[in-house]
Amino acid sequence: MAGVYLSYPFCAQKCTYCNFASGVQPRELEREYLDALREEIESANWPWTPKTVYLGGGTPSQMEPGILAEILKLIPGRPWMEATIETAPGSLTPAKARAWRDGGINRVSLGVQSFEPRELARTGRKHTAEIVAQEIAMLREQGLANFNLDLIAGLPGQTRESWRRSLDWIERLDPPHVSVYMLEIDEDSRLGAEVLALGRRYGAPEVPSEEAIAEFYETAVAHLSKLGIARYEISNFARPGSESKHNLKYWRREPYLGFGADAHSFDGATRWQNAETAAAYVERRARGLPFATEIAPAQPGEAFFLGLRLEQGMEADWAPYEGAMRRFELDGLVEREGNRARLTPRGVLLSNEVFTEFV
Ligand code: SF4
């Protein structure tokens, strides 16, 4: 089942924790970017008809609905089995929702991250819990009942109690799908760089400890499971049948074509990646260069670390990694039954230790 990813790396603000090549950028660049994006899609060879579409970035929900509809028309296969748009809560309107639905979108992902006013204010996000509740009611009225809510465990100032209140909002809003990410600390986000530099901006001194973040994550796993929203991948949870068909492709190594800045593609054997920033993407078009800047054969070990991200694990011939797998079993990170291996709950928390073995 093949899919399409479209990247729109423009946002109304730059969130402090964000480590993507996206943010507030000039209108002129946005216009040139959309022209380049159309050109890239129009010149694509379609070896298959896509079943899923995913609009990410960035904040594709801030794209003018008429332009979005035009771009969606360039993609074959409508009606798609699943077509998701990532959105910034606080900016959804009935007119946008109708336009998305009429353009073939049938799933909406809301980057909520937290329901706590203090945590949201520090990250730069503009919404409140009440606004999210109103927007979800509106999406349901517009026939877009298939939605995802993103949460981040580890925002500055987050406590056991505030995390619990965010989970209570999840219970109230009754989503079919939830993603829970543990905060990533790296140089690519303003918050991450500040933490690494031992600075004080963006609430850096109040980022919870690794142990606390792990505890928040595990509380979420238990709470969501009680609500019937089960983990199917390390960061993804769904009611039965509401798992993201598009995202499952990444872990099952099904083919996808990515368009736009930093978009990745995979044809089953080769991976390639477009220029990382909107400016570099537009520049490559102006210079008549291909949009892809990196192309490489798929790594031999990638099937293993991608498959192990799934709750059900994967069946494989583990012989090339037998020594490492035995060690992981002894350390309580992996469990095996026949050829099927999966991460244990402890292995999920220490998954990077396991995955590096296959890279
Ligand atoms: S987190 Fe989302 S909305 Fe915020 S800057 Fe990053 S891509 Fe944009």
Indicate if 90 and 7 belong to the same structural domain: yes
| Burial of residue 17 (number of CB atoms within 10 Å: 0-12, 13-18, 19+) | buried
- According to DSSP, the residues that pair with 233 across neighbouring strands are 236, 310
> In this structure, how many other beta carbons lie within 10 angstroms of the beta carbon of residue 270?
11
Residues 6+ apart with CB under 8 A from 297: 269, 270, 271
Residues 318 and 245 in one domain: no
Distances (CA, A) of 329 to 92, 301, 336: 47, 19, 8
Q: Which atom of ligand 1 lies closest to the CA of 124?
A: 4
96 and 161 both lie in a single domain: yes
Q: Is 313 helix (H, G, I), strand (E, B) or coil?
A: coil
Q: Report d(CA 92, CA 110) in Å as an integer.
A: 10
pLDDT tens for each residue of 29-65: 999 999 999 999 999 999 999 999 999 999 999 999 9
Please identify, among 233, 251, 269, the residue that sits at the C-terminal boundary of a domain: 251
Q: CA-to-CA distance for 148 and 108, rounded, in angstroms?
A: 6
* Same-domain check for residues 241 and 307: no
Residues 171, 309, single domain; the answer is: no
CATH code for the domain of 220: 3.20.20.70
Supply the range of the domain harboring residue 339.
302-358
> In a mutational test of the pocket of ligand 1, which residue from 6, 8, 20 has the highest number of ligand atoms less than 8 Å from its CB?
20
126 lines ligand 1 (CB under 6 A): no
Cβ burial, residue 48 (10 Å; 0-12/13-18/19+): middle
Backbone angles phi, psi at 5, to 5 degrees: -120, 130
Using CA atoms, how far apart are residues 357 and 359, in angstroms rounded to an integer?
6
Residue 102 lies in a domain: yes
Give the per-residue pLDDT at 97.
98
Query: How far does residue 11's CA lie from ligand 1's centre (Å)?
Result: 6
Residue 283 lies in a domain: no
Q: Is the distance from the beta carbon of residue 189 to the nearest atom of ligand 1 less than 6 Å?
A: no
Which residue in the block uniquely carries the two structure tokens 């505890």?
Answer: 215
β-strand partners of 315? 340
Q: Is the CB of 22 under 6 A from ligand 1?
A: yes
Our answer on whether the CB atom of 15 is closer than 6 Å to any ligand 1 atom is yes
Of 98, 87, 91, the closest CA to residue 144 belongs to: 98
Whether residue 38 is found in the same domain as residue 137: yes
* Domain end position, chosen among 189, 223, 251: 251
Note whether residue 297 is domain-resident. Answer: no
CB 7 within 8 A of CB 59: no
Structure token digits, residue 126: 């503009």
Torsion sign across C-alpha atoms 63, 69, 70, 76: positive
- Which of 151, 69, 171, 68 lies closest to 110 in space, CA to CA? 151
Summarised one tens digit per residue, pLDDT across range 63-94 is 999 999 999 999 999 999 999 999 999 999 99
153 φ/ψ sector (left φ>0, alpha ψ -120 to 50, else beta)? beta
Specify if 100 maps to a domain: yes
Does any domain span residue 288? Answer: no
Do 178 and 239 lie in one domain? The reply is: yes
Residue type, 338: G
Report pLDDT for 166: 98
Which pLDDT belongs to residue 1? 85
Domain identity same for 217 and 306: no
Instruction: Tell me, yes or no, whether 238 and 322 share the same domain.
Output: no
Asked whether residue 88 is domain-assigned, the answer is yes
How many domains would you assign to the chain? 2
296 inside domain: no
Distance 49 CA to ligand 1 centre (A): 30
Task: State residue 7's pLDDT score.
Answer: 98
Task: Report the alpha-carbon angle 62-68-70, nearest 5.
Answer: 160
Examine the fold and report which residue of 212, 235, 251 is the final residue of a domain before the chain moves on. Answer: 251
Whether pTM exceeds 0.85: yes
Q: Give 11's DSSP letter.
A: -
175 and 95, same structural domain? yes
**Do 79 and 163 lie in a common domain?**
yes
CB burial of 135-160 (b: ≥16 within 10 Å; e: otherwise) equals bbeebeebebebbbbbbbbbbbbbee
Distance between CA atoms of 330 and 18, rounded to whole angstroms? 36
Quick one: 11 and 126 in the same domain? yes
178-195 pLDDT per residue, tens? 999 999 999 999 999 999
Positions in the chain whose pLDDT score sits under 50: none
Residue 111 lies in a domain: yes
